[in-house]
Amino acid sequence: MRYGFTTGTAAAAATLGAALWLLGRPSWWVKVTLPSGQVLPIPLGGCERIEGGAQAWVFKDAGDDPDVTDRMAIAAKVWLRPGGGVEVDGGHGIGLVTRPGLPVPVGGRAINPAPLRMIRENLLGALPRGLGARVEIWAPEGERVAKGTFNPKLGIEGGISILGTTGVVRPMSEDAVVETIGAELSVLRAEGATSVCLAPGNYGRDVAVRLGVPVHRVVNVSNYVGPSLDRCRQLSFRGVLFVAQVGKMAKVASGSMDTHSAKSDGRMEALCAYGALMGMDSCWIRRIMDCNTADQAATMMIQDPRGRLALEELCRRASRRVSERSEASGAAVTFALPNLELARSGPVEDLIRSMRGDG
């Protein structure tokens, strides 16, 4: 798999390219020093004079990662000035932060701290002593591309974010997904939310909304249940409602907090174990084990009172796992498609009222 570079690295490279052009050292390639100390050569897409300065641009390369910002132009305008110091701001196509809880304060352009440091440090390394600069990062297609990102949900309006803690994009990076989930939770907490609903997908979100949870209080955690609960603990949420299809719920009840099928399974085994625990006979257990999907198995289990008790116990165990990992008041609701509630556990109604009261 081919690695790429972040929007932060692209912005640093464009800034460096424009500055070198002004210093009489033009080049089609620049060497960007990453936070790790690694030096990465980046090709420039172009460079030109502007009034009082210069601008250069870089075409962001996401490698083999399916990133909507891949191949978009990240540009930097640079004006040199005497006296030292570097001032960096965002311009057209760089999002404006409108909600608290993000690394950039409300009213600022969405250039995160790590790439901001990288832009400044790389530029300062190229400037002679006593010379400073003003920099404006912009993205010609930023407003359009941002519609395909999480920015609108995070309250970042009008453009993309300049991101990247390492400067490098790893293909299908789990870190990027977890970071986005964490950012959404941070925004909710900063806005005063004390309880939150986690759902691993759109089906869970839809069920949660039908239960009465405000849609903006539902965070899609995909398969990353464990890291999401860790973030809830770090942010001191007081209540966490987990709404999931029965297969995902069975994994969480068993302690598997990464619910991707490549990382964990055992859904049928868990359903069989809870069924046996509640006294279902061997014929029932074999029928459960032979089902193709957890939904099919659970829909069959609710035909027997012991099966209903088994699903309730599974949900109760998952609720306990949520509480323990998040250190919050945990609750769980599990369902089968299309909209069949199977069981619930914990203070579900109390948490929903709390979320509605949070606004």
- pLDDT score at 359: 53
Q: Any alpha helices (H) in the chain, and if so which ranges? A: 7-22, 113-126, 142-146, 151-154, 174-190, 202-211, 225-234, 246-253, 267-277, 282-289, 294-301, 305-326, 348-357
Question: Is the peptide bond preceding residue 338 cis, with omega within 30 degrees of 0?
Answer: yes
169, 198, 222: which is the final residue of a domain? 169
194 and 109 in one domain?
no
314 and 224 in one domain?
yes
236 and 130 in one domain?
no
203 and 120 in one domain?
no
**What does the DSSP 8-state code read for residue 130?**
T
* pLDDT value at 173 more than 70: no
Residue 197, token pair as written in the block? 């609903």
Please count the other Cβ atoms lying within 10 Å of the Cβ belonging to residue 125.
Answer: 10
| Residue 32 neighbours by CB under 8 Å, 6+ apart | 9, 12, 13, 16, 39, 40, 41, 42, 118, 122, 167
| Residue 153 neighbours by CB under 8 Å, 6+ apart | 184
Gap between the Cα atoms of 106 and 99, Å rounded: 6
Name the residue among 230, 240, 246 with its Cα closest to residue 314: 246
Give first-to-last CA distance, the chain, whole Å. 44
143 and 186 in one domain?
no
How many domains does one find in the chain?
Answer: 2
**What order of strands is seen across the sheet that includes strand 239-245?**
218-220, 195-199, 239-245, 329-336, 340-345
Supply the CATH number for residue 38's domain.
3.30.2110.10
291 and 196 in one domain?
yes
Name the residue among 234, 235, 238, 194 with its Cα closest to residue 217: 194
Residue 94 CA, chain-centre distance (Å), reads: 19
121 and 259 in one domain?
no
Over residues 203-215, mean pLDDT: 95
List C-alpha distances in Å: 118 to 48, 56, 135, 162, 349. Answer: 23, 17, 13, 11, 47
* pLDDT value at 158 more than 70: yes
Please count the other Cβ atoms lying within 10 Å of the Cβ belonging to residue 66.
Answer: 8
pLDDT in tens, 33-76: 999 999 999 999 999 999 999 999 999 999 888 789 999 999 99
Q: Which of 164-168, 175-179, 214-218 has the highest mean pLDDT?
A: 214-218
116, 151, 169: which is the final residue of a domain? 169
The DSSP H or E segment spanning 32 is strand 29-33
Please count the other Cβ atoms lying within 10 Å of the Cβ belonging to residue 30.
Answer: 24
pLDDT class of 293 with cuts at 50, 70, 90: confident
- pLDDT score at 213: 97
- pLDDT score at 291: 86
- pLDDT score at 339: 83
Gap between the Cα atoms of 77 and 136, Å rounded: 5
- pLDDT score at 67: 85
Q: Is 186 helix (H, G, I), strand (E, B) or coil?
A: helix
* Amino acid at the residue 246: V
Identify which has the larger pLDDT, 149 or 11.
11
List C-alpha distances in Å: 35 to 164, 204, 322. Answer: 10, 38, 35
30 and 138 in one domain?
yes
* Average pLDDT score, the chain: 94
* pLDDT value at 259 more than 90: no
181 and 131 in one domain?
no
- pLDDT score at 78: 98
139, 169, 199: which is the final residue of a domain? 169
List C-alpha distances in Å: 96 to 90, 99, 135, 188, 300. Answer: 9, 9, 17, 18, 51
* pLDDT value at 172 more than 80: no
- pLDDT score at 167: 92
Over residues 191-197, mean pLDDT: 97
- pLDDT score at 176: 80
CA dihedral of 270, 273, 276, 282, whole degrees rounded to 10: 80
180 and 69 in one domain?
no
Find out whether 242 and 328 touch, Cβ atoms under 8 Å: no
306 and 186 in one domain?
yes
Over residues 307-318, mean pLDDT: 97
338 and 223 in one domain?
yes
> What is the span of the domain harbouring residue 316?
174-357
Find out whether 336 and 314 touch, Cβ atoms under 8 Å: no
- pLDDT score at 243: 98
Name the residue among 89, 106, 87, 86 with its Cα closest to residue 97: 106
Gap between the Cα atoms of 34 and 209, Å rounded: 43
Over residues 94-118, mean pLDDT: 95
